[in-house]
Amino acid sequence: MRARRDVVVASFTALLAAPGLWPSVASAQRPAAPPAPAQAPSAEAAPARDETLFAAVAAAMALVTAYRTHGHLAARLDPLGGEPVGDPALDPERREPKLTEELQRLIPADILGVHVPGETLADVLPQLHQVYSGTSAYEIEHIADHEQRVWLRTVIESRRYHHTLGADDKRRLLERLTEVEGFERYLRRAFLGQKQFSIEGLDAMVPMLDEAIALSAEEGGHEVVLGMAHRGRLNVLAHVLGRPYETILREFEGERTLEAVAADPEGGTGDVKYHLGAEGTRKTSAGEITVTLASNPSHLEAVDPVVEGRTRAEQTDRATRTGYVDSSVALAVQIHGDAAFPAQGVVAETLNLADLNGYSTGGSLHLIANNQIGFTTEPADARSTRYSSDLAKGFDLPIIHVNADDPEAALSAVRLAMAFRRRFCTDVVIDLVGYRRHGHNEQDEAAYTQPLMAARIEQQPSVREQYAKTLLEEGVVSQEDLTAMSARVDTALKEAHERLKTTFGQGVPAVAYEGRIPASTGAEVVTAVSEERLRSLNDELLAVPEGFTVNAKLAKQLERRRAALDQGGIDWGQAEELAFASLLVEGIPVRLTGQDTERGTFSHRHLVLHDAENGQAYAPIQNLDDATASFEIHNSPLSEEACLGFEYGYSVAAPEALVAWEAQFGDFVNGAQVAVDQFIVSGLSKWGQTSRLTLLLPHGYEGNGPEHSSARLERFLQLAAQENIRIVNCTTAAQYFHLLRRQALDPSARPLVVMTPKGLLRLKQAASTLADLTERAFLPVLGDPGADSSAVRRLVLCAGKVYYDLAGHELRGQANAVAVARLEQLYPFPVVSYAGLVRSFPQLEEVIWAQEEPQNMGAWRAIRHRLEESLPNGVRLRFVGRPWRASPSEGYPTAHLKEQERIVREALTL
Ligand SMILES: Cc1ncc(C[n+]2csc(CCOP(=O)(O)OP(=O)(O)O)c2C)c(N)n1
């Protein structure tokens, strides 16, 4: 050990002597270095002074590293004056040797590799303190990428993005803060006690968003997509989106007078004012840019993936083969709550999407609106980490903390964040540390639970007041300017309010609501495709480039797809790819994602092939000669909520595209229940927002246990109303083909839930012929063509795979008086087709609804009244299926088989 240390000492003293190593240090200060010894001297022989110097420089370097790594612990981030915890590593006196001022003056800055100005450690130390422990602070040293770390250190220490504002910019900033504060104060005065979720304490957020938007426009962006919860949302709507004051005041008036109630989508419920989305156009020096605030449910952070999906859709050129993504054209901005960010799992799920091929938006800006409280819960009870932002460290993201009462520093934080994004296409987090001036909302009393904090806040001048004082002292504004500024804001609000009042009684224009969905496809949607086109697409889908080696086993399976067009046996995977391909040549883009979706969980799809020799991927469907639209296909990460939310966002922003998400097994979709409940099924009613998002939910009662059987059909049926979604369980490949095409081509867009099968993927009886694709359309009800209508006394109606269990059972041949039919579309319920089916059996005595699910699950409870409504007098309706159960199916295959047999026998036995 000792010998090694000696060598180090020797080489360091040699370094000290090297010419040019101390260029910026006056020779008087320069320590006299001994000539480099030819051989390493023993420790005893080395001059003690050099050893001290060596150790001092090492300590100085460690001190610099400590500032970079832990400087944030000493930063003045809390506007309420909370003392930073500090860190002993930042104290030069606690270093070994003590870095006294005298010693500090001996250590040249050059060898420390810092970018702050100064010649010695004594000069740079205060600068480092100001940079890393001022009203901004940085966490960057956890980042694994060396280039990013070095870049960040350089720009942070050289303050490249820390602009000092000119007088005009300062006045503009003060004006903005005056508007922000004036708006909140006016609302509170005019609508005492109504919820506004005031921004006060985090007012800087609005000019920060202004800055991000302006920078995005400068970089050539044409869209900024924002997602945020309640806090400060009205202020953002008014000032960032430019929604006229009147429209927001109308919402407040609507709470006390029906006269002013804003129009909801026809027949919809509407939503509270702090959930509504909006779109605005901002003029910037670089031109106009669209700003979209995504509609948002109460469920905190649920909007995060939606924002990402919307942004990705904006960035994607769907006229290219694979959907070329240009992340400079749109920026995603997610505003988080400090309690929600570390605690809601969807945040982590969404962060995990950031760098994935199928999901990246080239870096999102995250702004934690950190008011140091979550409702009444304090950080100590809200998270196990020091900062709200710590989760982001695991994703290697830079984190900028900034004191919300230093608005200029807050703008600098945005400039740095945007520069980082531009350079590295990576997410950045800004933790804006402020406070909450009032209770959680305007009906709460903060002093009940946080008496000390509330008392402290009462003493705290607002950021506008503080900034106005600074600008007064700097001579940038006069007292008269300040008075005029406030008066201007107040007058604008009063005038808007007066104008609004004059419109009361005139009615409010209704929000347009899209047409109702026809239960059947209707004449205008042609889903059949010509034989010629299908043949040529089929050939192209089976073609691979010269030299590409398809796995031999797979090649045999794929070859069957060639023969299937002539011999029949078009299976699910083939019908699906033909449907997609036919859409692409008609100019309809398709995006398909899900867990292991490229191959298909059940190895039935194989849209992406992998060269057996070199592993390279090739997707024939992305290379169709006549395709004029993109086909995006991606295996998703193992997330349901973020992935489904993302696709919802994408589908809303790309209404022309068929966007499909596939669950691994349909049952797992309930991991995304928030996305289903809060966006997919209710978005139309709440916000007038819908899409043609398609959920593929593979499942099957096949003895694989309660988590692989049902896909929870009942959940979707319970949520279906006012024709908000479509729910289908189709039983042939051709039905699936027509369904997909209808979903893409139907002029009235709605989300579609497809209860896709597992067992039917390869079942011969479920396969189709070419004629089924060239001639027919999707049929919501499939009758029983083999039945003798006049003999039928019982109609067994079912949905999905159980049909084949019934149709193929040994009892079926003996049950002449029984017809077995299929309800392929469960919602909207095909009233006319069902009534026609029932009427086609004149001797009918009973209808049995046969399902595999327990009686409290599946379709029964949702469609029972529909089944009854069309029954002729005297015809009974009966349920056959599993009894009421707390879990969807048996865990043991033998128990499953027994139960399955019982259901089929009961349904078929007269
Ligand atoms: C998923 C979810 N759980 C609970 C709530 C109820 N809730 C509304 S706001 C809030 C506190 C949020 O605190 P924070 O994230 O810090 O945002 P702030 O309100 O302080 O701006 C809670 C618990 C909710 N809206 N969503």
Cis peptide before 828 (omega within 30 of 0): yes
CA distances 176 to 190, 240, 368, 473, 668, Å, are: 21, 10, 20, 19, 47
Per-residue pLDDT, averaged over 785-797, amounts to: 96
Pair of tokens at residue 890: 């048996």
Per-residue pLDDT, averaged over 637-661, amounts to: 98
299 lines ligand 1 (CB under 6 A): yes
Which of 910, 908, 780, 903 shows the shortest CA–CA distance to 851? 903
Gap between the Cα atoms of 309 and 334, Å rounded: 12
376 lines ligand 1 (CB under 6 A): no
Confidence of residue 13 (pLDDT cuts 50, 70, 90): low
Task: Give per-residue pLDDT as tens, 17-42.
Answer: 544 434 333 333 444 444 444 444 44
> Ligand 1: which atom is nearest the Cα of residue 343?
15
Gap between the Cα atoms of 517 and 828, Å rounded: 8
- Reported as type and span, the H/E element at residue 852 is strand 846-854
pLDDT number for residue 523: 45
CA distances 706 to 667, 709, 884, Å, are: 9, 6, 14
Task: Calculate what percentage of the chain has a pLDDT beyond 90.
Answer: 87
For the stretch 72-90, what's the b/e string if a residue is b when 16 or more beta carbons lie within 10 angstroms of its beta carbon?
Answer: bbbbbbbbbeeeeeebebb
Phi, psi dihedrals of residue 369, rounded to the nearest 5°? -80, 85
Ligand 1 centroid – CA 432 distance (Å)? 17
231 lines ligand 1 (CB under 6 A): yes
Task: Give per-residue pLDDT as tens, 106-144.
Answer: 999 999 999 999 999 999 999 999 999 999 999 999 999
pLDDT number for residue 267: 67
Task: Give per-residue pLDDT as tens, 817-837.
Answer: 999 999 999 999 999 999 999
> Ligand 1: which atom is nearest the Cα of residue 436?
20
482 lines ligand 1 (CB under 6 A): no
Confidence of residue 257 (pLDDT cuts 50, 70, 90): low
Nearest-5° angle of CA 569, CA 574, CA 580?
145
Task: Give per-residue pLDDT as tens, 661-684.
Answer: 999 999 999 999 999 999 999 999
207 lines ligand 1 (CB under 6 A): no
Handedness of CA 259, 264, 267, 268 (dihedral sign): negative
Pocket test for ligand 1, best of 184, 300, 347 (most atoms within 8 A of CB): 300
pLDDT number for residue 657: 97
Pocket test for ligand 1, best of 203, 375, 383 (most atoms within 8 A of CB): 375
pLDDT number for residue 506: 73
pLDDT number for residue 603: 94
Which of 713, 797, 706, 703 shows the shortest CA–CA distance to 756? 713
Cis peptide before 883 (omega within 30 of 0): no
Ligand 1 centroid – CA 341 distance (Å)? 10
Strand blocks (E) in 636-766: 658-662, 694-696, 726-728, 752-754
583 lines ligand 1 (CB under 6 A): no
Ligand 1 centroid – CA 446 distance (Å)? 15
Gap between the Cα atoms of 350 and 388, Å rounded: 16
Per DSSP, the residues of 642-654 read HHHHHHHHHHHH-
User: Do 684 and 265 meet the contact criterion of CB atoms below 8 Å apart?
Assistant: yes
Q: Please, what is the average pLDDT of the chain?
A: 92
Per-residue pLDDT, averaged over 201-229, amounts to: 97
* Helices 2-17 and 48-70, axial angle in degrees (round to 10): 90
Strands 726-728 and 825-827: antiparallel
340 lines ligand 1 (CB under 6 A): yes
Task: Give per-residue pLDDT as tens, 163-193.
Answer: 889 999 999 999 999 999 999 999 999 999 8
Which of 641, 608, 643 shows the shortest CA–CA distance to 358? 643
Write a three-state SS string for 310-378: HHHHHHEECCCCCCEECCCCEEEEEEEECCHHHHCHHHHHHHCCCCCCCCCCCCCEEEEEECCCECCEC
Closest C-alpha residue for ligand 1 atom 1: 299
Cα 49–chain centre separation: 59
Closest C-alpha residue for ligand 1 atom 10: 375
> Ligand 1: which atom is nearest the Cα of residue 302?
1
Per-residue pLDDT, averaged over 545-564, amounts to: 96
- Reported as type and span, the H/E element at residue 379 is helix 379-382
Confidence of residue 559 (pLDDT cuts 50, 70, 90): very high
671 lines ligand 1 (CB under 6 A): no
The residues, any chain, with a CB within 8 Å of residue 672's CB and separated by 6 or more, are 640, 641, 643, 644, 645
338 lines ligand 1 (CB under 6 A): yes
- Reported as type and span, the H/E element at residue 289 is strand 287-293
Task: Give per-residue pLDDT as tens, 689-742.
Answer: 999 999 999 999 999 999 999 999 999 999 999 999 999 999 999 999 999 999
Pair of tokens at residue 194: 């109504």
Phi, psi dihedrals of residue 257, rounded to the nearest 5°? -140, 125
Ligand 1 centroid – CA 275 distance (Å)? 13
Dihedral, 241, 246, 251, 253 alpha carbons, nearest 10: 160
Phi, psi dihedrals of residue 876, rounded to the nearest 5°? -85, 155
SS3 827: strand
Residue 815, pLDDT above cutoff 90:
no
Gap between the Cα atoms of 153 and 163, Å rounded: 17
Residue 43, pLDDT above cutoff 50:
no
Ligand 1 centroid – CA 18 distance (Å)? 61
| CA atoms within 13 A of residue 629's CA, in its CB half-sphere | 18
Pair of tokens at residue 805: 């269990």
Task: Calculate what percentage of the chain has a pLDDT beyond 70.
Answer: 91
pLDDT number for residue 274: 85
| CA atoms within 13 A of residue 543's CA, in its CB half-sphere | 13
